[in-house]
Structure 1
Amino acid sequence: MSKAKAYMQGQKLVTDCDYYDTEGMTEQDIAAAKVVKYAVATESNTVVYIKVAREVDGNPAALTAGQLEGLTSYMNEIKDAGVSVQLRNEPADQMRISLLIYYDPTLLIIDANGNGSQNGKDPVRETTKQVIENLPFNGMFRKSDLMAALQALPCVEVADIKSVKVKPRNGAEWQTVEGYDRPFSGYYSIDALTVDYQPYNAIE
């Protein structure tokens, strides 16, 4: 939502307006004041819900208490009369992934522990993290997308997603993902990633 992203921490709105006077501010000053880097709005039963997040090290993160307080005051000031706005500022949803990977041992790309022969990194784990981290804010996670990315690795003959479980950070129970899931907070953090590596044998 553009209005949430337009919020500037530490600045006052022009009187009776919904914008700021940025005269005298540099582009760096303006960028630093705009603490809301991610925002998505949905409406349900006359209530507008807005998921928000700042950016830390290139990734979404929950706003600080001070940032949220300022944003809440700003939204209450600029919103239309009679419109109810609820801000959702949450830490990343947690995700637990379990994979079964049959790799081609003749290629010497990875070993039974997933260690890469070129740079020492595990291509399966790296690819899985990239799929999750590259999701757009509030984007849908699809198990089929993760499967396609894993199956595209030259060292992988067969990939099987044994399970994916998710829960909001403050949620009580883990939920098994059946097909797809949209994060409550708008983004995920991998809490656990387990990979069972097995050599692929084309001849039984």
Structure 2
Amino acid sequence: MARSVAEIKKTMTDAFMADETIREKYGLSERDTFGGSFSSVSLENILFFILAACYHVLEMIFDQHKIDIENKIATAVVASVPWYYKMALAFQYGDGLVFNETTQKYEYAKMDESKQVVKYAAVRDKGTSVQILVSGDKNGTPVALSNDVLTVFKQYMNRVKVAGVILNVISKDSDRLSISATVAIDPLVLNESGMRLSDGSRPVEDAIKGHLKNITYGGTFNKTKLVDTIQSVEGVIDVELHEVCYTDGVNGGWTALSGNNYIGSSGSYVVYGLENSLSYVVQD
């Protein structure tokens, strides 16, 4: 923000009065002030005022230039991954787009969060195309958009996207994981069915479900992090992870995860059949 003429002038006169050589030439002491030593019509005062006024105008020009640049950036379409993510979440089901002649972009005449049905989004740059994963929300869990909504969403993205970019829009139910493991337990805390003795809950199963739910939408499932989560449960002494299988619910069948990571095709994960795939043993 541009300083006032008075502020700029004071900065200069303070430095002027603090200079030992100048004080010696003018016969001034350290206690003297500029206003008390030079009249308003003195040559020194007039020169400092002129310089301060020039600097003030220059700073105002810089401020306006900064505002112009920021406005230019704000109205420009930067088709980055974060931009596509923002546009996906901004989708309003049932509202038409209008073309803004000033920004040269399609946008909604009025923002209405109640119509923004896309609650989860992830964007992946595939090199020759951009993949966009989207889901709605049901009780805090991602759910696939209905076919009707998905069709409209695809039309919306094709309208707002940069010309020439190929979009691959996907919305489907969460990838399912089957997790087989042996959990060594403290019998003072958990019984051999995985139930907590104090309240009858199943903390290991709850921890696994919570871990999958907390993976960032569009993120990666990691075996090591899953084991760490299970081991953090009170009453768990050790974990032996046997096998993790996955299915996207489209191609059918289960596939064993060979590596440490799995990137789901839906953007989210849920666990299947934990009550039959976990075994609990008492540590010797």
For normalisation by structure 2, the TM-score amounts to 0.65
When Rg is computed on C-alpha atoms for both structures, the one with the higher figure is 2
> RMSD between aligned alpha carbons?
1.4
Q: CA deviation at 1:128?
A: 0.9
* Aligned partner letter, 2:262: D
Aligned to 2:138: 56
Q: CA deviation at 1:116?
A: 1.1
Aligned to 2:87: 3
Q: Residue 14 of structure 1 aligns to a residue in which SS?
A: strand
Pairing of 1:162-201 with structure 2 (within 5 A):
162-177=242-257, 178-193=259-274, 194-201=277-284
169-178 vs 64-73, which moves further: 169-178
Pairing of 1:16-165 with structure 2 (within 5 A):
17-22=105-110, 30-105=112-187, 108-165=188-245
Mapped to 2, the partners of 1:163 and 1:181 lie a distance apart of: 13
Q: CA deviation at 1:32?
A: 2.1
Q: CA deviation at 1:48?
A: 1.2
Aligned to 2:96: 12
Which digits, 9 at most, give the CA deviation of each residue in 1:140-197, with x for residues without a partner? 1111111111112231111111111011111233222221111111111212212111
Gaps of 5+ in 2: 1-84
* Aligned partner letter, 1:182: I
Calculate percent identity across the aligned residue pairs: 27
Q: Residue 19 of structure 1 aligns to a residue in which SS?
A: strand
Q: Residue 215 of structure 2 aligns to a residue in which SS?
A: coil
Q: Residue 271 of structure 2 aligns to a residue in which SS?
A: strand
Q: Residue 109 of structure 1 aligns to a residue in which SS?
A: coil
Q: Residue 100 of structure 1 aligns to a residue in which SS?
A: strand
Mapped to 2, the partners of 1:174 and 1:154 lie a distance apart of: 31
Which digits, 9 at most, give the CA deviation of each residue in 1:94-134, with x for residues without a partner? 111111011111xx211111111222111111111111111
* Aligned partner letter, 1:121: S
**Structure 1 or 2: more strand by fraction:** 1
Q: Residue 95 of structure 1 aligns to a residue in which SS?
A: strand
Q: CA deviation at 1:46?
A: 2.2
Moved >2 Å (runs of 4+): 43-46
Question: Which one scores higher on RCO, CA 8 angstroms, separation ≥ 6?
Answer: 1
Gaps of 5+ in 1: none
Which digits, 9 at most, give the CA deviation of each residue in 1:43-76, with x for residues without a partner? 2242111111111110111001121011011111
Mapped to 2, the partners of 1:120 and 1:76 lie a distance apart of: 51
165-174 vs 122-131, which moves further: 165-174
Aligned to 2:60: none
Q: Residue 66 of structure 1 aligns to a residue in which SS?
A: helix
For normalisation by structure 1, the TM-score amounts to 0.89
Mapped to 2, the partners of 1:55 and 1:96 lie a distance apart of: 23
Q: Residue 18 of structure 1 aligns to a residue in which SS?
A: strand
Alignment check: 8 A CA contact 2:129 2:165 kept: yes
* Aligned partner letter, 2:89: K
Q: CA deviation at 1:200?
A: 0.7
